[in-house]
Structure 1
Amino acid sequence: MRVIITGGGTGGHVYPALAIARGLQQARPGIELLYMGTARGLEADVVPRAGFPFRTITVQGLERRRLWKNVPALAKTIKGLGEAWFQVRRFRPHLVVGTGGYVSGPVCLAAALQGIPVVLHEQNAYPGLTNRLLAAVARAVCLTFPEAAGRFPRRARLVTTGLPVRPEILRADRGICRGKLGLGENQLFLVVIGGSQGARSLNRAMLPVLKEMAGRPDVSILQVTGRRHYDGYLQQVREWGIDLDKYGNITIEPYVYDLEHALAAADLVIGRAGASFLAEILARGLPSILIPYPHAAANHQEYNARAVAGKGAAVLIPDRELKSGRLYHVVNQLLADRGRLQAMAAAAKELGRPGALEAILEVILTELENM
């Protein structure tokens, strides 16, 4: 049995693809997998490290605003389609799984034109252009958010599965992790993370929060700034008169490798609204304050955040409102209302899909068995 996995550009496309690849290996030992991506995307680094065979094609993203710049991109896409056709014909897969990103288009289209079944996974509440177009030739589209369904063709077979979450996120024990972090039984633990690259506007908006919470025995804060913002942010913290050595309840880190421990221990999370991050905090049943990245393609992070906030699991604050001090007021309101935090946590747990990977694998394996 042979399967091609494709998806690239960002972690939002690559990590779900890797989770699916590992799941297929466990479900069907001996399966042959090939990952197809680009030489420039994140996949070129992480896929070979994960131990999967990896091949690349030529592709370039389209300009959404300056359409006249798309002529070279279209030429590369046509070239990529030819390369994908050759690679697909050479590997002879029984099925192709696409998780989005520009590379998915040529690979999935080449497979469909050769009569090979295609299954897609869409991470966001506002689906990406590639998956919306490919839905017309796919056997099934697995959705993370049911809100995405209305943006696909009516004839498309849509299955709401959720997004695969790393096993370590689900396995982390709250009591053990809180003990390792030295948290008191009734101490509220606030985790702030702006993504792997950090978020300058979110960091800046946290300064009055840190000033207010410094030294409070009932609150502990972990803020992850992103590596490129770390040194500059520490200087800002000092300028605000916040002595981290004096006030031991505030920890500021550039990056956290074992984020699963912090999430397991958390009572409230503040962050962006990327699909993978949301899947993790919902699977853990965590209340959150979401500040969508304002420059995400098609503003998809705001659609993600609205889907979660609309069910009562989060408070949405647009990035443009951070300068008004709204974050400070919302944090204070939530930390002072444990009943509301508990209600938000219950709503998050209801939305979480810890069995997402199994649901996606069921769709894929059913297609393979029906061949």
Structure 2
Amino acid sequence: MKILLSGGGTGGHIYPALALIKRLKQLDPATEILYVGTEKGLESKIVRNANIPFKSIEIQGFKRSISISNLKTIQLFITSIKKSKKIIKEFRPDVVIGTGGYVCAPVIYAASKLKIPTIIHEQNSVAGVTNKFLARYVTKIAVCFEEAQAEFSKYSEKVNYTGNPRAQEVVGIKPSSILKDYHLVADQPTVLIFGGSRGARSLNQAFLEALPELKNKNYQVLFATGDIHYEAIKEQVETQLQNIQSISVVPYIENMPEVFANVELVVSRSGATTLAELTALGLPSILIPSPYVTNDHQTRNAESLTKRGAAKMITEKELNGKQLTEAIDELMLHEDARKNMADAAGKLGLPKAADYLIQIIKDITR
């Protein structure tokens, strides 16, 4: 089988595609894959580093305000449809799948006009503009949150609740001694705090405020500042952490799913990929949604878990050191509360998400 995938702009659009590719190759090593993205997006580096065949088109997103750059966007869209058709005709895929980002628009649209089966995958509880545009043209729509089904109510017959393929990729990870790599004790109760790959200034500030309390707790803390904030944070905490072995401050965590499998609680933003991993592993969490994302979708993502008892949410406006410490203590010092939240999170996990998507692929390519 030949499968063409497209998705870009953020890791949240790319990593589900890579997880799906990995599972497809596990089931049938002869599967041929082609990935279409942009040279400017993260996908150009991430996908190529994964040794997946990659081709690029040039496209950009629309400005929400009136802007002359939107004229260029329209021109690029038309040009990229023509290039996408050329790529598709040369590769001759059995199915074309879009995992989000504006690069998907010309690729999926071109495939639909060439009568090739198509799927869009929406990771968030609020559908993105590109997927809303493509919904009328595609064969199937896959969603990761039950709430997202309402976003495609006009096309309900196309919608399938599959979950995020990333969940299936992490669900088999077993506990290990990885915390030793961060100068912590491997078998001690641990809370992980991070604000995404770039870090989050508000969460970093709350951690600094909470540090005098956190360093005296009977649980460990692993805190990732984000690369750009690390040196400044390190300077501020070094004197406070002399002879303190229970707190580790690092710039970035490369192997996040393995760390997830070895901690008792996660404090983080509420991006779709993170939530897929947390629910797949049945991990309790304190979610601090980023208010700087389109349609405030991280808040909606977090609410999907909190209303089911699978997480606690603190808004960025509410966040400070005292709130952070109290929320962590509420779970780290009360095992029953933590277990109840973990059970609720596990019930939301879809550990066979990639297989569900693969079944849809089989159904529409028969």
- Identity over aligned residues, as a percent? 36
Whether the 8 Å CA contact 2:309–2:344 is kept in 1: the answer is: yes
How do residues 58-207 of structure 1 correspond to structure 2 at under 5 angstroms?
58-156=58-156, 157-165=158-166, 169-174=170-175, 183=185, 187-207=188-208
The AA in structure 1 aligned to 2:275 is: L
Deviation at 1:171, TM superposition (A): 3.0
> In the alignment, what sits opposite 2:355?
358
The AA in structure 2 aligned to 1:109 is: Y
Whether the 8 Å CA contact 2:168–2:354 is kept in 1: the answer is: no
SS at match of 1:202: helix
Q: Deviations over 1:10-51 (max 9, x none)?
A: 111111111122222222332222111111111111111111
* Distance of 2:17 and 2:166 partners within structure 1: 11
Alignment of 1:236 onto 2:233: no
Q: Deviations over 1:39-70 (max 9, x none)?
A: 11111111111111111111001112445542
C-alpha spacing 1:167/1:363, structure 2 compared with 1 (3 Å): closer
Whether the 8 Å CA contact 1:190–1:269 is kept in 2: the answer is: yes
* Distance of 2:155 and 2:234 partners within structure 1: 53
Cα RMSD between the aligned structures? 2.0
C-alpha spacing 1:197/1:184, structure 2 compared with 1 (3 Å): closer
Whether the 8 Å CA contact 1:215–1:248 is kept in 2: the answer is: no
Q: Deviations over 1:170-216 (max 9, x none)?
A: 3332365578876476x431100111111111011112322102143
C-alpha spacing 1:94/1:172, structure 2 compared with 1 (3 Å): closer
Alignment of 1:21 onto 2:18: no
C-alpha spacing 1:188/1:195, structure 2 compared with 1 (3 Å): same
SS at match of 2:274: helix
> In the alignment, what sits opposite 2:249?
252
Alignment of 1:291 onto 2:292: no
* Distance of 1:37 and 1:261 partners within structure 2: 28
* Distance of 1:5 and 1:77 partners within structure 2: 18
Deviates more, 1:50-59 or 1:26-35: 26-35
* Distance of 1:58 and 1:178 partners within structure 2: 42
The AA in structure 2 aligned to 1:279 is: A
Deviation at 1:365, TM superposition (A): 1.9
TM-score (norm 1): 0.92
Whether the 8 Å CA contact 2:164–2:354 is kept in 1: the answer is: yes
The gaps in structure 2 that reach 5 residues or longer are none
* Distance of 2:211 and 2:320 partners within structure 1: 15
Whether the 8 Å CA contact 2:3–2:96 is kept in 1: the answer is: yes
* Distance of 1:141 and 1:168 partners within structure 2: 21
SS at match of 1:78: helix
> In the alignment, what sits opposite 1:304?
301
* Distance of 1:49 and 1:227 partners within structure 2: 21
Q: Deviations over 1:133-172 (max 9, x none)?
A: 2111211111110100101143341111111226663333
TM-score (norm 2): 0.93
Deviation at 1:328, TM superposition (A): 2.7
Deviates more, 1:111-120 or 1:24-33: 24-33
Alignment of 1:34 onto 2:34: yes
> In the alignment, what sits opposite 1:332?
329
Alignment of 1:314 onto 2:311: yes
> In the alignment, what sits opposite 2:43?
43
Deviation at 1:275, TM superposition (A): 0.6
* Distance of 1:166 and 1:48 partners within structure 2: 22
Deviates more, 1:165-174 or 1:69-78: 165-174
Whether the 8 Å CA contact 2:178–2:258 is kept in 1: the answer is: yes
The gaps in structure 1 that reach 5 residues or longer are none
The AA in structure 1 aligned to 2:282 is: G
Whether the 8 Å CA contact 2:120–2:140 is kept in 1: the answer is: yes
* Distance of 1:153 and 1:306 partners within structure 2: 20
Aligned partner (choices 339, 342, 348) of residue 345 of structure 1: 342
C-alpha spacing 1:88/1:286, structure 2 compared with 1 (3 Å): same
Deviation at 1:90, TM superposition (A): 2.1
* Distance of 2:200 and 2:184 partners within structure 1: 27
Number of residues of Structure 1 aligned to a counterpart in Structure 2: 364
* Distance of 1:223 and 1:65 partners within structure 2: 38
The AA in structure 1 aligned to 2:111 is: A
